């Protein structure tokens, strides 16, 4: 059962996704579409000066491990002043979540997920491609399937249970903590084992099954409910 789930999150290929790539280069029509989406996201953020240095794609669709559930990770690389890093990261995270929640953007049937990445942030990915400069920053290599499926199964069941409990909760702080635990789990796994580590694959399965989206939507609803309550209290 869980091996089938793994296959929805990661499949080992001998060529890059033909929907996006031709002879090792991003198809021109795909590149221009991604640049247009990035410009729209910049306008959505609404800052007079973003200090953007690059636009990249990474993740499974910039490597040989894409699946039908893989999205296009489109990153806006920005230079953030040292004294404003925490404030700006919070703003970018909020804008990213709002944009991805509001707009359902696809390219050749593939979901596009927008991010803002600090130029100094270490980003772990098998492949990284500059959409702006139309060249590889890190060229991906085909890899062997050495995934520990039993450990993936254990972690998947654990976090699936936590998400199901969170979806029934009206405690915003507790629900956010579950989301943060999943995010930290993934980041730790990426830093230790890379994209094909157990933690990142577990996250991909949770996302492929729609559980991450349900959790994000639940957080958004609780946040909206809290704001409505505060506004009502102000009017009393």
Q: What is the pLDDT of residue 62?
A: 95
Same domain? 126 vs 47: yes
Cβ atoms of 14 and 211 closer than 8 Å: no
Same domain? 68 vs 169: no
Same domain? 65 vs 166: no
Provide the residue range defining the domain that includes 184.
Answer: 149-231
Same domain? 134 vs 154: no
Name the region of 79 (left: φ>0; alpha: ψ -120 to 50; beta: rest): beta
In the chain, where does DSSP find H-type helix? 2-9, 28-45, 85-102, 149-167, 172-193, 198-208, 211-234
Same domain? 179 vs 212: yes
C-alpha 229 chain-centroid distance: 31
Local confidence pLDDT in tens for the 236 residues of the chain: 445 677 877 888 999 999 999 999 999 999 999 999 999 999 998 887 888 999 999 989 999 999 888 899 999 999 988 888 888 888 888 888 888 878 889 999 999 999 999 988 877 788 999 999 999 999 999 888 888 888 999 999 999 999 999 999 999 999 999 999 999 999 888 888 888 889 989 998 998 889 998 999 999 889 887 655 454 555 54
Q: Rounded to whole angstroms, what are the CA distances from 230 to 98, 173, 235, 236?
A: 20, 16, 9, 10
Has residue 87 been placed in a domain? yes
Cβ atoms of 97 and 179 closer than 8 Å: no
User: Domain tally for the chain?
Assistant: 2
In b/e form, how buried is each residue of 8-27, taking b as 16+ CB within 10 angstroms? bbbbbbeebbeebbeeeebb
Same domain? 130 vs 201: no
Same domain? 27 vs 79: yes
**Tens digit of pLDDT for each residue in 72-120?**
999 999 998 888 888 888 888 888 888 887 888 999 999 999 999 998 8
Has residue 132 been placed in a domain? yes
Structure tokens at 97: 């979540």
Has residue 36 been placed in a domain? yes
Has residue 236 been placed in a domain? no
Backbone angles phi, psi at 204, to 5 degrees: -60, -35
Which of 81, 109, 138 is where one domain is finished? 138
Which of 138, 158, 189 is where one domain is finished? 138
Same domain? 15 vs 95: yes
Closest by CA to 181, choosing from 192, 171, 173, is: 173
Closest by CA to 217, choosing from 166, 158, 159, is: 166
Question: What CATH number is attached to the domain comprising 39?
Answer: 3.30.460
Q: What is the pLDDT of residue 202?
A: 94
Q: What is the pLDDT of residue 1?
A: 46
Same domain? 116 vs 207: no
Has residue 113 been placed in a domain? yes
Has residue 77 been placed in a domain? yes
Same domain? 125 vs 13: yes
Has residue 13 been placed in a domain? yes
Closest by CA to 108, choosing from 218, 210, 29, is: 29
Same domain? 134 vs 21: yes
- Using CA atoms, how far apart are residues 106 and 154, in angstroms rounded to an integer? 32
Q: What is the pLDDT of residue 227?
A: 56
Which of 138, 169, 184 is where one domain is finished? 138
Name the region of 109 (left: φ>0; alpha: ψ -120 to 50; beta: rest): left
pTM of the model: 0.72
Has residue 144 been placed in a domain? no
């Amino acid at each position: 059962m869980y091996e089938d789930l793994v296959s929805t999150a990661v499949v080992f290929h001998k060529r890059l996704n033909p929907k996006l790539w031709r002879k090792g280069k991003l198809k021109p029509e795909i590149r221009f579409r991604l640049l247009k989406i990035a410009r729209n996201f910049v306008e959505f953020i609404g800052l007079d000066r973003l200090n953007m240095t690059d636009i990249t794609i990474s993740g499974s669709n910039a490597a040989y491990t894409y699946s039908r559930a893989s999205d296009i990770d489109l990153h806006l690389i920005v230079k953030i002043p040292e004294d404003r890093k925490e404030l700006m990261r919070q703003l970018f995270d909020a804008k990213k979540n709002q944009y991805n929640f509001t707009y359902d953007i696809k390219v050749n049937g593939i979901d596009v997920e927008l991010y803002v990445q600090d130029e100094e942030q270490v980003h772990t990915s098998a492949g990284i491609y500059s959409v702006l400069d139309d060249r590889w920053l890190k060229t991906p290599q085909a890899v062997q399937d050495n995934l520990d499926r039993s450990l993936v199964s254990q972690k998947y069941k654990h976090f699936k249970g936590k998400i199901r409990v969170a979806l029934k909760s009206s405690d915003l702080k507790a629900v956010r903590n579950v989301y943060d635990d999943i995010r930290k789990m993934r980041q730790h796994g990426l830093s230790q084992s890379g994209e094909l580590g157990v933690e990142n694959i577990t996250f991909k399965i949770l996302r492929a099954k729609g559980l991450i989206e349900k959790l994000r939507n639940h957080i958004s609803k609780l946040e909206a409910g809290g704001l409505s309550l505060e506004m009502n209290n102000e009017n009393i």
